[in-house]
């Protein structure tokens, strides 16, 4: 079944910067129903690296679902501005992740990156913290 549009809310975080890090993404359909929740521990990383990795897992899942159009909501203003080419990516590690996202977006008809306030990204943030709490035994 081909889905026309997916909305991705993604978030990444680390305890310490860099430190133990995780990423989470929630994919919704056009009716705002959850299609899938994704979360994973990514080892030692910075907050920005985790933000990028969260979007990557969301886009990879959307690719498997054969989605055509995607709207991505992130609470990292830096990452959104870099993806929208308002800011240059100066960090080499982030540049690699930026290129990976760029290459992933080529497989879709349209991809939009939008910044949202942290309060609007609670579910993805919750997934990140669940993973970190479990890994760090808190």
Q: How far apart are CA 82 and CA 37, in angstroms?
A: 25
- What's the CATH code, domain 7-88+99-135? 3.30.420.10
Q: Quick one: pLDDT at residue 1?
A: 43
Indicate the helix (H) or strand (E) that contains 29: none
Model confidence pLDDT, tens digit, residues 62-76: 999 999 999 999 999
The C-alpha R_g of the chain, in whole angstroms, comes to 14
Q: Using omega within 30 degrees of 0 as the cis cutoff, is the peptide bond preceding 18 cis?
A: yes
Residue 128 parent element (H or E): helix 122-135
CA-based nearest residue to 132, from 26, 44, 37, 9: 44
- Residue 35: half-sphere exposure toward Cβ, Cα within 13 Å: 24
Q: What is the DSSP letter of 68?
A: S
Question: What global pTM score does this model have?
Answer: 0.95
Q: For position 88, what pLDDT does the model report?
A: 96
Sites in the chain below the pLDDT cut of 70:
1-3
Share of the chain above pLDDT 70, in %: 98
DSSP letter string, 31-66: TS-EEEEEEEEEEEE-HHHHHHHHHHHHHHHHHHTT
Residues found in the chain? 138
Residue 8 has a pLDDT of 98
pLDDT of residue 2: 52
Return d(Cα 65, Cα 107) in angstroms, integer: 12
- Would you kindly state where each structural domain of the chain is located, as residue ranges? 7-88+99-135
């Amino acid at each position: 079944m081909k889905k026309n549009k997916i909305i991705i809310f993604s978030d990444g975080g680390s305890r310490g910067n860099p430190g133990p890090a995780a990423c989470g993404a929630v994919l919704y359909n056009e009716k705002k129903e959850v299609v899938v929740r994704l979360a994973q521990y990514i080892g030692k990383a910075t907050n920005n690296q985790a933000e990028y990795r969260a979007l990557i897992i969301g886009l990879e899942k959307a690719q498997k679902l054969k989605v055509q159009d995607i709207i991505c909501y992130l609470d990292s203003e830096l990452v959104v501005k870099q993806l929208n080419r308002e800011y240059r990516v100066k960090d080499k590690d982030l540049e690699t992740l930026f290129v990976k996202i760029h290459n992933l977006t080529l497989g879709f008809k349209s991809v939009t990156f939008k910044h949202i306030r942290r309060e609007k990204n609670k579910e993805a943030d919750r997934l990140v913290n669940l993973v970190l709490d479990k890994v760090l035994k808190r």
